[in-house]
């Protein structure tokens, strides 16, 4: 805690305009609406502010945690003695040139997809309903309905551990994985290559996918989307349903009745409730089907 306090003082001297927040409840910043306070959070509005935050943390031997919209994140109830750098909503620019979009990491996927649609560019329709930021989506190689970030990302600009700007063209994209998954570099932005399309058909596809989400997913409750990765040859939700676990509840956490792949916060859920539920689901699914589920959602503790 003392080192974080020192970081706060050094950073606020070096970067007086940087938005620094101490002891922020993470339930405000995660789509699960769960989590205790983070010791310190920086919300940079420029690359310079982000670089100063990363560089100063490195000088003091503090490893930052980078986050976007918190839609794939679960934070411990007792809070975390960590320094968080959040790219949303400060880093949110987007420029277009022909079929190329150059966007900052904090821009929401919804806004990015709508920008592409308005420019008559196709390739981001799948991303419209994913409630994350570009940085989180690149890290996770987010995907849906046959699309994934790997199809459109051509270059990523990031900060190294010491705060140097680096351009990356090799991403090691896999299923919900990328070269950024180890958390050592902060994504600042990305160059996306799209294709020319018709605004009308892009809109229609986006509306069709939104309708599918609305009818199949429990969007009326806080969650982090699919709780588990898709096991090879199976669907997590189908396995969970097969084990009779739809509606299974621990405290305020519940396996959604609408979509068994989602764990929802029915109201007042703690991180402890959610993790206890996850463990029991994993045990029962393994005992019944022999498949070991793996969490997709990241846990910060
Ligand atoms: C209702 C709902 C539906 C969803 N549907 C889908 C879906 O269809 N497909 C899908 O793939 N996901 C889905 N998700 C999960 C989530 O939206 C995605 O994983 C999204 O890409 C996470 O982005 P984020 O900005 O919220 O990242 P966060 O949750 O903030 O972080 C996720 C990971 O990315 C890292 N990260 C974030 N920003 C940066 C950065 N700037 N630099 C370096 N690392 C960073 C974090 O350290 C963490 O490891 C859904 C979630 C919800 C709540």
Q: Whose CA is nearest to atom 51 of ligand 1?
A: 225
Residues in the chain: 301
69 CA from centroid of ligand 1 (Å):
7
Whole-angstrom CA distances from 101 to 93, 117, 120, 141, 199 are 10, 12, 12, 17, 16
- What is the rounded average pLDDT of the residues 254-276? 98
Q: What gap in Å lies between CA 276 and CA 271, rounded to an integer?
A: 8
Q: Whose CA is nearest to atom 19 of ligand 1?
A: 72
Q: Which atom of ligand 1 is nearest to the CA of 30?
A: 29
14 CA from centroid of ligand 1 (Å):
30
67 CA from centroid of ligand 1 (Å):
9
Q: Where are the alpha helices (DSSP H) in 22-178?
A: 47-59, 109-118, 134-140
Give the pLDDT band (50/70/90) at residue 17. Answer: very high
Question: Looking at the domain that runs over 218-300, which CATH code has it been given?
Answer: 3.90.78.10
Q: Which atom of ligand 1 is nearest to the CA of 87?
A: 41
Neighbours of 187 (CB within 10 A): 27
- What is the rounded average pLDDT of the residues 90-118? 97
Q: Whose CA is nearest to atom 2 of ligand 1?
A: 225
For residue 1, pLDDT beyond 80: no
Percent with pLDDT over 70 in the chain: 100
- What is the rounded average pLDDT of the residues 158-184? 96
Q: Whose CA is nearest to atom 33 of ligand 1?
A: 136
* CA-closest candidate to residue 271, choices 293, 251, 255, 249: 251
CATH 3.90.78.10 positions along the chain are: 218-300
Q: What gap in Å lies between CA 257 and CA 200, rounded to an integer?
A: 35
For residue 235, pLDDT beyond 80: yes
Question: Looking at the domain that runs over 2-86, which CATH code has it been given?
Answer: 3.30.43.10
**Residues recognised as catalytic:** 176, 226, 296
From 64, 75, 135, mutation site for ligand 1 pocket: most ligand atoms within 8 A of C-beta: 135
- What is the rounded average pLDDT of the residues 255-277? 98
Structure tokens at 291: 């498949």
CATH 3.30.465.10 positions along the chain are: 94-201
- What is the rounded average pLDDT of the residues 194-205? 97
- R_g (Cα) of the chain, nearest Å: 20
Q: Tell me: domain 94-201, CATH 3.30.70.260, correct?
A: no
pTM over 0.95: yes
Residue matched to tokens 């709508």: 114
């Amino acid at each position: 805690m003392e080192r974080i306090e020192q970081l706060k003082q050094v950073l606020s001297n070096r970067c007086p305009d940087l938005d620094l927040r101490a002891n922020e409840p993470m339930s405000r910043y995660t789509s699960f609406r769960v989590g205790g306070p983070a010791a310190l959070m920086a919300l940079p509005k420029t690359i310079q502010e982000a670089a100063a935050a990363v560089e100063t943390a490195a000088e003091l031997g503090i490893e930052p945690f980078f986050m976007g919209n918190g839609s794939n994140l679960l934070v411990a109830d007792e809070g975390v003695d960590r320094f968080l750098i959040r790219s949303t909503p400060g880093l949110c620019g987007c420029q277009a040139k022909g079929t190329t979009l150059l966007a900052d990491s904090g821009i929401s996927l919804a806004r990015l997809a709508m920008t592409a649609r308005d420019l008559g560019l196709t390739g981001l329709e799948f991303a419209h309903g994913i409630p994350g930021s570009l940085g989180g989506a690149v890290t996770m190689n987010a995907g849906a309905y046959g699309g994934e970030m790997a199809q459109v990302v051509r270059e990523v600009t990031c900060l190294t551990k010491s705060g140097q700007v680096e351009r990356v063209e090799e991403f090691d994209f896999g299923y919900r994985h990328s070269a950024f998954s180890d958390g050592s570099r902060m994504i600042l932005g990305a160059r996306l290559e799209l294709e020319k399309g018709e605004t009308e058909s892009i809109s229609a596809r986006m509306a069709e996918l939104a309708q599918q989400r609305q009818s199949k997913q429990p969007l009326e409750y806080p969650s982090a989307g699919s709780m588990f990765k898709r096991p090879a040859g199976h669907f997590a939700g189908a396995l969970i349903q097969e084990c009779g676990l739809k509606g299974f509840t621990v405290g305020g956490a519940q396996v959604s009745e609408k979509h068994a792949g989602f764990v929802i916060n029915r109201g007042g859920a703690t991180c402890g409730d959610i993790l206890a539920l996850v463990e029991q689901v994993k045990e029962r699914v393994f005992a019944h089907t022999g498949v070991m589920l793996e969490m997709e959602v990241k846990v910060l503790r």
